[in-house]
């Protein structure tokens, strides 16, 4: 499970799900270029919502959204780390983990039950709330309601489960300890709020988690997991009356427990939260890669009338490239990044500013420039264009971040739980439209008071960012370890609530595909459900075309595209998009440059014109190149200081030989050697219409979009044939090899296990997907998760994957472990591979895996942004546009014989590369 440090009502969070993968809405309009910003109505978020309160006190919010055959069920409990007493920090988070361990009537891992339904699911703990959410096909709705009602009343909290899950939670916490930013935040928050629960980590401290008793957790559950302390949110494709009847049958019978529970009301005082007396900066001198600054200021609670103005102030300061702090700190070369967030909670919260320094820059200087910017905002009203830009960005974010029912349910659940009213969003958006320049100046004076500031510096003691030595070994890993038997899906099925037998087959619309004369490939798929457009693109200009001597070149080219063209400088390009609340980003990956963009449908032409301009007319200013090089060097140091980043680099380089492009990674030397001429030459060679694919999904008329695209790209010419690669074949190692790169000061190991495997077009791909679902596709329900995480409690997260692309990519297992548990966890994983190879899989496992994949597929396609990514991927892999419709059928036709054959051909437990990055012995 994961916990979130903040949930904000203004810019909604896309949860990164470790189990499956998931995540606002109708007729919004934003006039971004006028002197006054058109108010954005919150009615499309709240319109049609029905609020029902059951006799037992459970608040129910339902909203029908008939855009896809899926439903989202979320249960929000009004309890979080704010409710914890001294000595029990982390108990809310610990209970969240235990809520997946089963119930009295269903004593099985709930992750397996949810996975069997094809659900995309997870849970999180925050300061004020703990929430559980699942999104499934609509015929699984009643089953989800039954499961959530069951664990609200009858969670099975036992001693052995607590012991095992404590190890998992501690592994999670220790993983956060690997991050210097986490350690700095913990120190700053403790100093800012020394007498309040908000000052302690949401996930808890290792010392407190170790001390939590079974009686404490059971009492906490009995106290807070009550119907009258919860909100049930259901959004999606259903009939409200029928669903309310089902809810009454499942949740209505639950009694109020009320064991010492006292509803917590918002503090009567609207004053800001008390903080420690002004002090010198908190300074942490510890191993790390980059110097960090964090500043915290007290804020009022979520229902305070200043919240809207505070959030506009936040965007003025840090909302994009045109923002004040970005211009003052990043564009000046002092910092590689700056961000901020406003935590507006049940009790008075805080405003937090985070800065990562460029190597060689002093944090004291950054702090001085930061304070100058804040003082300027306090003394001078923000310009009208900057004010309107910030308001537009906030308003557009509500549309763009609410394109699917999971996100919509999250917003409703958050508003009801934290503000006390699901209509909060409507009032908030109306308040945003009314914020004036004087309001922004006033709240800056009120809340960015230097005498109330708590500031912290992280000064790395390994400023060169170089990891320690690597040790290598080879030989047998398994030490008489015998894994348990795989979970029998047929045994699991008896605990699964029956799903309705109604048909949910909906014919997935196919994209219109065409190719311009110059070779540009385009896919268009109209979706009128939301007034947005989602752009996903690909250019064959990835790091496979780097050389070892110029490693990092492809990424520098991509990161400099928005730094200026023949007619627009970087700031003009940024404002062109930010004035409309739109975004456009480029990221170089191994096999290509990934393009992602979105915006309101009314601004599609601006999005297309900006894309066309930068891919055809980028001019790579030298000054901007130097700034981006500094950021790349900072990122490199961070990667080498992160067990995940360093581990993956060493793993990849151990698999692929020196002359293979997948072996190449940037170094300080290679990044410093790249010249502007190198960028221009790479750009001219690789940025071509015949190597570019664009997918657009959203609210548009295809014929009109074709005209826009033809005008923007039709004159773009390509000379000769595009560059090609002939990759050398990669063989498996003769025997297992182990590497152990050391990073001083870390608390957790990260391990990668695997070797080179298959490409996306390999005929075995679908069988490999089914196999992977069984082996490690889901942290809670797979064989790896069941054995290494659930039974032994050795890791917070473990998964496997076939990283299949245009070219063959690695098969890998990744896990995070305490250093003392690493060897046993590796031995367990290898033994599971041997078990798989020796005994194969059961027919019931095959069928359960196929159902899980095919049932979750419609949930993925319920988000227009995901659809754009899917149709783009299919195109660049050379698959038919019909693949988006045929994919479930291809999974369904996989046979057990095919999977058994793939096991023999693709699973090699005696030929592994094993890399563990961490603190060392």
Task: Report whether 803 contacts 811 (CB < 8 A).
Answer: yes
Tell which residue, 443, 407, 409, 411, has the closest CA to residue 426: 411
pLDDT tens digits, one per residue of 830-839: 999 999 999 9
pLDDT for residue 470 is more than 80:
no
Task: Name the phi and psi angles at 496, rounded to 5.
Answer: -90, 125
pLDDT for residue 476 is more than 90:
no
What confidence category does residue 62 fall into, taking pLDDT thresholds of 50, 70 and 90?
very high
Reported residue count of the chain is 921
> How many angstroms separate the CA atoms of 43 and 40, rounded?
9
> How many angstroms separate the CA atoms of 460 and 438, rounded?
40
Task: Report whether 54 contacts 62 (CB < 8 A).
Answer: no
> How many angstroms separate the CA atoms of 76 and 51, rounded?
15
- Going by the DSSP 8-state scheme, the letter that residue 204 receives in this structure is -
pLDDT at 120: 92
Tokens 């808890």 belong to which residue?
A: 204
What confidence category does residue 765 fall into, taking pLDDT thresholds of 50, 70 and 90?
very high
pLDDT for residue 260 is more than 70:
no
838 burial (CB, 10 Å; 0-12 / 13-18 / 19+) is exposed
For residue 490, the tally of other CB atoms under 10 A from its CB is 13
Q: Specify the range with the lowest mean pLDDT, choosing from 79-83, 440-444, 504-508, 745-749.
A: 504-508
What confidence category does residue 269 fall into, taking pLDDT thresholds of 50, 70 and 90?
very low
pLDDT for residue 848 is more than 80:
yes
What confidence category does residue 18 fall into, taking pLDDT thresholds of 50, 70 and 90?
very low
For residue 860, the tally of other CB atoms under 10 A from its CB is 18
Tokens of 631: 């950021």
Q: Specify the range with the lowest mean pLDDT, choosing from 93-107, 414-428, 716-730.
A: 716-730
pLDDT at 71: 97
Tokens of 778: 């889901």
> How many angstroms separate the CA atoms of 562 and 255, rounded?
58
Q: Please tell me whether residue 904 adopts helix, strand or coil conformation.
A: helix
> How many angstroms separate the CA atoms of 756 and 689, rounded?
31
Task: Report whether 513 contacts 862 (CB < 8 A).
Answer: no
What confidence category does residue 14 fall into, taking pLDDT thresholds of 50, 70 and 90?
very low
**Gyration radius from the chain CA atoms:** 27
> How many angstroms separate the CA atoms of 297 and 280, rounded?
15
Q: Percentage of the chain with pLDDT > 90?
A: 84
Q: What is the mean pLDDT of residues 781-788?
A: 94
Spell out where 20-157 has E strands.
50-53, 59-64, 70-77, 120-125, 130-137
pLDDT for residue 500 is more than 80:
no
CA-CA-CA-CA dihedral for 668, 672, 678, 679, to nearest 10: 80
Q: Which residues pair with 801 in a beta bridge?
A: 812
pLDDT for residue 3 is more than 50:
no
Tokens 């995309």 belong to which residue?
A: 120
pLDDT for residue 31 is more than 80:
no
Q: Please tell me whether residue 496 adopts helix, strand or coil conformation.
A: coil
pLDDT tens digits, one per residue of 185-209: 999 999 999 999 999 999 999 999 9
pLDDT tens digits, one per residue of 137-168: 999 999 999 999 999 999 999 999 999 999 99
Q: Please tell me whether residue 245 adopts helix, strand or coil conformation.
A: helix
Q: Which tops the pLDDT comparison, 626 or 31?
A: 626
pLDDT tens digits, one per residue of 580-622: 999 999 999 999 999 999 999 999 999 999 999 999 999 999 9
Q: Helices 896-906 and 765-775, interaxial angle, to 10°?
A: 80
> How many angstroms separate the CA atoms of 109 and 398, rounded?
35
pLDDT for residue 462 is more than 50:
yes
For residue 853, give Cα distances in angstroms to 132, 343, 783.
21, 37, 16
Displacement of CA 143 from its chain's centroid (Å): 27
pLDDT at 755: 98
pLDDT for residue 481 is more than 90:
no
Count of H helices and E strands in the chain?
32, 24
> How many angstroms separate the CA atoms of 671 and 666, rounded?
6
Q: Which tops the pLDDT comparison, 498 or 882?
A: 882
Tokens of 201: 């980590």
Displacement of CA 773 from its chain's centroid (Å): 21
Q: Specify the range with the lowest mean pLDDT, choosing from 122-126, 333-337, 396-400, 801-805.
A: 396-400
pLDDT at 45: 84
pLDDT for residue 176 is more than 90:
yes
- Going by the DSSP 8-state scheme, the letter that residue 39 receives in this structure is P
pLDDT at 30: 29
pLDDT at 457: 98
Task: Report whether 270 contacts 446 (CB < 8 A).
Answer: no
- Quote the longest CA-to-CA distance of the chain: 77
CA-CA-CA-CA dihedral for 854, 858, 859, 861, to nearest 10: 130
Tell which residue, 616, 564, 560, has the closest CA to residue 588: 560
Task: Name the phi and psi angles at 283, rounded to 5.
Answer: -120, 120
Q: Specify the range with the lowest mean pLDDT, choosing from 10-14, 424-428, 570-574, 739-743.
A: 10-14
Tokens 């700031």 belong to which residue?
A: 571
Residues with Cβ within 8 Å of residue 183, at least 6 apart in sequence: 177, 284, 286, 458
Give me the sign of the Cα torsion angle 431, 437, 443, 446: negative
Query: What is the chain's percent helix, strand, coil content, to nearest 5?
Result: 45, 20, 40
pLDDT for residue 111 is more than 70:
yes
Q: Specify the range with the lowest mean pLDDT, choosing from 6-20, 293-307, 397-411, 772-786.
A: 6-20
Q: What is the pTM of this model?
A: 0.92
pLDDT at 12: 29
Residues with Cβ within 8 Å of residue 720, at least 6 apart in sequence: none
Average pLDDT along the chain: 90
158 burial (CB, 10 Å; 0-12 / 13-18 / 19+) is middle
Task: Report whether 202 contacts 345 (CB < 8 A).
Answer: no
pLDDT at 471: 62
Tokens 């791909």 belong to which residue?
A: 765
Tokens of 556: 């520098």
Q: Please tell me whether residue 621 adopts helix, strand or coil conformation.
A: coil
Task: Report whether 121 contacts 134 (CB < 8 A).
Answer: yes
> How many angstroms separate the CA atoms of 474 and 471, rounded?
11
Q: Percentage of the chain with pLDDT > 70?
A: 90
What confidence category does residue 466 fall into, taking pLDDT thresholds of 50, 70 and 90?
low
pLDDT at 502: 55
575 burial (CB, 10 Å; 0-12 / 13-18 / 19+) is middle
pLDDT at 726: 85
Task: Report whether 855 contacts 118 (CB < 8 A).
Answer: yes
């Amino acid at each position: 499970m994961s916990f979130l440090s903040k949930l904000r009502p203004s810019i909604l969070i896309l949860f990164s799900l470790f189990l499956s993968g998931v995540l606002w809405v109708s007729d919004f309009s934003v006039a971004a270029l006028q002197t006054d910003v058109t108010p954005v109505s919150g009615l499309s978020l709240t319109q049609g919502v029905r609020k029902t309160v059951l006799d037992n006190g459970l608040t129910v919010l339902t909203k029908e959204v008939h855009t896809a055959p899926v439903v989202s069920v979320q249960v929000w409990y009004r309890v979080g780390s704010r409710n914890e007493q001294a000595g029990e920090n982390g108990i809310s988070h610990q209970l969240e983990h235990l809520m997946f361990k089963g119930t009295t009537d269903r004593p099985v891992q709930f992750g397996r039950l949810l996975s069997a339904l094809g659900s995309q699911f997870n849970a999180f703990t925050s300061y004020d709330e703990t929430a559980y959410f699942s999104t499934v096909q609509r015929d699984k709705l009643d089953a989800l309601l039954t499961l959530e009602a069951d664990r609200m009343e009858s969670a099975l909290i036992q001693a052995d489960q607590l012991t095992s899950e404590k190890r998992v939670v501690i592994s999670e916490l220790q993983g956060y300890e690997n991050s210097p930013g986490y350690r700095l935040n913990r120190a700053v928050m403790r100093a800012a709020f020394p007498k309040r629960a908000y000052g302690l980590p949401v996930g808890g401290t290792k010392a407190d988690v170790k001390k939590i008793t079974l009686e404490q957790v059971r009492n906490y559950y009995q106290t807070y997991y009550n119907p009258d302390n919860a909100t049930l949110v259901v959004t999606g494709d259903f009939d409200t009356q029928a669903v309310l009847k089902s809810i009454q049958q499942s949740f209505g019978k639950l009694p109020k427990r009320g064991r010492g529970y006292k509803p917590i009301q918002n503090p009567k005082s609207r004053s800001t939260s008390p903080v420690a007396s002004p002090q010198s900066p908190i300074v942490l001198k510890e191993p790390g890669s980059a110097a960090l600054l964090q500043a915290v200021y007290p804020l009022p609670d979520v229902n305070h009338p200043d919240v809207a103005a505070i959030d506009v102030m936040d965007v003025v300061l840090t909302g994009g490239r045109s923002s004040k702090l970005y211009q003052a700190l990043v564009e000046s070369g002092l910092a590689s990044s700056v961000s901020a967030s406003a935590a507006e909670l049940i009790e008075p919260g805080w405003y937090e500013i985070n800065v990562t320094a460029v190597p060689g820059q002093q944090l004291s200087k950054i702090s001085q420039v930061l304070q100058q910017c804040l003082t300027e905002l306090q003394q001078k009203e923000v310009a009208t264009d900057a004010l309107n830009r910030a308001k537009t960005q906030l308003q557009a974010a509500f549309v763009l971040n609410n394109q699917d029912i999971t996100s919509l349910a999250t917003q409703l659940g958050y508003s009801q739980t934290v503000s006390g009213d699901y209509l909060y969003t409507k009032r908030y958006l109306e308040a945003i439209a009314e914020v004036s320049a004087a309001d922004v100046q006033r709240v800056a004076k009120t809340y960015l008071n230097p005498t109330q500031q708590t500031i912290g510096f992280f000064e790395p003691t390994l400023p060169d960012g170089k990891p320690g030595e690597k040790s290598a070994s080879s030989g047998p890993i398994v030490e008489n370890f015998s894994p348990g038997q795989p979970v029998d899906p047929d045994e699991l099925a008896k605990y699964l609530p029956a799903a309705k037998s109604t048909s949910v087959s909906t014919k997935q619309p196919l994209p219109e595909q065409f190719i311009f004369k110059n070779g540009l490939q385009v896919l268009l798929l109209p979706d009128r459900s939301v007034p947005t457009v989602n752009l996903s693109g690909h250019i064959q200009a990835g790091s496979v075309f780097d050389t070892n001597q110029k490693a990092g070149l492809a990424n520098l080219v991509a990161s400099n595209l928005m730094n200026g063209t023949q007619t627009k400088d970087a700031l003009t390009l940024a404002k062109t998009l930010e004035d409309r609340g739109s975004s456009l980003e480029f990221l170089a990956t191994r096999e290509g440059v990934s393009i992602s963009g979105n915006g309101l449908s009314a601004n599609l032409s601006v999005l297309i014109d900006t894309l066309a301009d930068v891919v055809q007319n980028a001019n790579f200013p030298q000054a901007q190149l130097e700034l981006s090089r500094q950021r790349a060097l900072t990122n490199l140091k961070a990667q080498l200081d992160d067990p995940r980043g360093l581990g993956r680099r060493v793993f990849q380089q151990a698999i692929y030989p020196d002359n293979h492009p997948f072996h190449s990674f940037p170094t300080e030397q290679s990044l410093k050697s790249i010249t502007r001429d190198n960028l221009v030459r790479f750009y001219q060679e690789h940025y071509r219409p015949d190597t570019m694919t664009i997918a657009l999904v959203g609210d548009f008329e295809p014929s009109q979009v074709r005209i826009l695209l033809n005008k923007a790209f039709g004159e773009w010419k390509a000379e000769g044939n595009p560059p090609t690669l002939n990759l050398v074949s990669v063989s498996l190692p003769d025997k297992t090899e182990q590497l152990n790169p050391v990073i001083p000061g870390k608390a957790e190991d990260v391990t990668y296990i695997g070797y080179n495997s298959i490409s996306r077009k390999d005929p075995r791909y679908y069988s490999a997907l089914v196999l992977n679902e069984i082996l490690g596709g889901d942290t809670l329900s797979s064989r790896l998760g069941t054995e290494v995480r659930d039974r032994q409690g050795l890791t917070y997260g473990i998964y496997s994957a076939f990283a299949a692309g245009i070219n063959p990519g690695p098969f890998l297992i990744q896990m995070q472990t305490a250093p003392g548990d690493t060897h046993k966890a590796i031995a367990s994983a290898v033994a599971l591979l041997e078990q798989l190879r020796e005994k194969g899989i059961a027919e019931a496992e095959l069928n359960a895996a196929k159902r899980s994949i095919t049932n979750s597929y419609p949930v993925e396609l319920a988000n227009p942004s995901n659809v754009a990514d899917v149709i783009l991927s299919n195109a660049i892999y050379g698959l038919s546009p019909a693949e988006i419709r045929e994919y479930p059928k291809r999974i369904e036709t996989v046979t057990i014989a095919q999977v058994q054959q793939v096991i023999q051909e693709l699973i090699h437990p005696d030929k592994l590369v094993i890399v563990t990055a961490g603190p060392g012995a």
